[in-house]
Amino acid sequence: MKIAVFPGSFDPITLGHESIVRRALPLFDRIIVAIGINAEKSGYFPIERRLEWLNQTFIDLPQVSVESYNGLTVDFCESVNADYIIRGLRTSADFEFERGVAQVNLKLVPEIETVFLLTLPEYVMVTSSIVREVHRHGGNVEQFIPEQITI
């Protein structure tokens, strides 16, 4: 079984995240979309709502499950027997950041590989932080989030 974890804050899930999961499906038997809980940052939307939105988004995909975790992503991967981490790459800034994280993760657990998927061009500007900003000021975020959910 090829099991992959797609870790992130998903605060909230966007069309960019959804697209990465759907495009990664043919590569893996199972994908666990996992919210990493950061003790220092509670985030904008409550974890429970973020989990609910993830579940609603992937309700049609039996190979996808949704979880949250505390601590290191590689420890979570080991606990669910995942050998792969999925990350999306939007820009060269993402690449520089992700390279560091992935290389540290490889040092921690050499058996876990990070697999990168390039963002579709139409989603490069769709970030959770922009969605939060639009939402904070009362703007309509519908066009940036999966159609299965309402925020």
Which residues are annotated as catalytic?
17, 41, 90, 128
Beta strand ranges found along the chain (DSSP E): 3-8, 30-37, 64-70, 84-89, 113-118
Q: Which two tokens stand for residue 54?
A: 């993830």
DSSP state of 125: T
Binding mask 86-125 for ligand ADP (x = CB under 6 A): -xx-x---x------------------------x---x--
C-alpha span between 34 and 9 (Å, rounded): 8
The nearer residue to ligand ADP, 83 or 94, going by C-beta atoms, is: 94
Q: Which of 5, 14, 21, 50 binds ligand ADP (CB under 6 A)?
A: 14
Rounded Cα distance between 7 and 69, Å, is: 9
| Residue tagged 């601590």 (tokens) | 71
Contact region with ligand ADP (CB under 6 A), list: 39-47, 66-74, 83-91, 134-142: 83-91
Handedness of CA 60, 12, 122, 29 (dihedral sign): negative
> Contacting ligand ADP (CB under 6 A), which of 56, 65, 127, 148?
127
Q: Which of 57, 105, 114, 128 binds ligand ADP (CB under 6 A)?
A: 128
Residues at the site binding ligand ADP, with contacts judged by CB under 6 A: 8-10, 14, 16-17, 20, 87-88, 90, 94, 119, 123, 126-128
